[in-house]
Amino acid sequence: MNQLIDFVIISIALFSIGIYGLVVKRNAIRMIFSIEIIANAANLNLVAFSRHVQNVEGQVFALFSIAIAAAEVAVALGIIIIAYRLYKQIDVHEFRSLKG
Amino acid sequence: MVDAYFVGVAVLTIGTSIVALESKELIYGAIALAISMLGIAGFFLLLDAQFVAMFQITVYVGAVAVLVIFTVMLVRTQDLFSAKDDKGRKVGGIILALVTMGGIGAIFLVSGISDPMFGNLESTPTDVKEIGKSMLTYYSPALIVLGFTLAGAVIGALALARREGLLKENESTN
């Protein structure tokens, strides 16, 4: 039988992979991937603890979180497309218009 | 002790999420991300959360992955993939990831959550009915706000990606 700690360890591993991607990658789409991986790690944690305490709240929060993540991806990809049109690339180091 | 299904899903999820970040071609990364989301849905099934697993497959594998793949195809250029990561930055990132993993992992391991008496999941799972009930009673304002947020995000994304404004701007600069 699986223990609660197993799911938490998987969640921590996914979170660390996401942090690595956010720090290292310069490609805007890869940064979106990292954010998605981190959000999924958080959802897994929510559902695992919800199962442990036999409470439905964690699952409801996970559902809300998934829906918000979908909205966030739609807006982020719109921003990436418009940035690509302006700069002809998606390297975040080249997006310098907001730099003072 | 974990069972074989758990180990398989864990290897699939973590392996594909690494591939999503490290693959040479961005499109393979997008597909690997979709498989990783599918693995998370498998974990939800292991945790007796069938409704959340179904929602995860519908939203992430069905909508987000397709959206990402279309964006990757739209922004595809030759020099996009040749951009190499900084070597020192990569080492720093790996060290930061390991420190994060070790730090949070150590906190959880000493917190007593790993005690088999505390952390077992053998109790009866909650019913799907309970999710619907709490969503339509206590969380109904949140559900309505969520609907407005989704509508606003979709309209905002459409307004952002519209071509018309850009064409006008080009004309005025010319």
Q: Using the predicted structure, report yes or no on whether residue B77 has a pLDDT greater than 90.
A: no
Q: Using the predicted structure, report yes or no on whether residue B162 has a pLDDT greater than 90.
A: no
**ipTM value for the complex:** 0.90
Chain B residues whose CB is inside 8 A of the A79 CB are 160
Helical segments of A25-96, H only: 28-52, 57-87
Do A7 and B43 lie within an 8 Å CB cutoff?
yes
Residue A26 near residue A93 (C-beta atoms within 8 A): yes
Q: Sign of dihedral through CA atoms B53, B58, B62, B67?
A: negative
Cross-strand bridge partners of residue B120: A3
Mutation target vs A (from B52, B67, B155, B164; most A CBs, 10 A cutoff): B52
Q: Quick one: tokens of B28?
A: 């393979």
Return the amino acid letter for B29.
Answer: G
More confident residue, A23 or A84: A23
3-state secondary structure of B5: helix
More confident residue, B28 or B126: B28
Residue B33 near residue B65 (C-beta atoms within 8 A): yes
What is the overall mean pLDDT for chain B?
84
Do B126 and A15 lie within an 8 Å CB cutoff?
no
Q: What is the pTM of this model?
A: 0.88
Q: Which of B44, B114, B150 sits opposite A67 (nearest CB)?
A: B150
**Cβ neighbours of residue B39 closer than 8 Å, sequence gap 6 or more:** B9, B10, B12, B13, B16
**Residue A18: its H or E element:** helix A4-24
Q: Using the predicted structure, report yes or no on whether residue B24 has a pLDDT greater than 90.
A: no
Measured at the CA of A69, the angle between CA A80 and CA A64, to 5 degrees, comes to: 160
Residue B124 forms contact with A (CB below 8 Å): yes
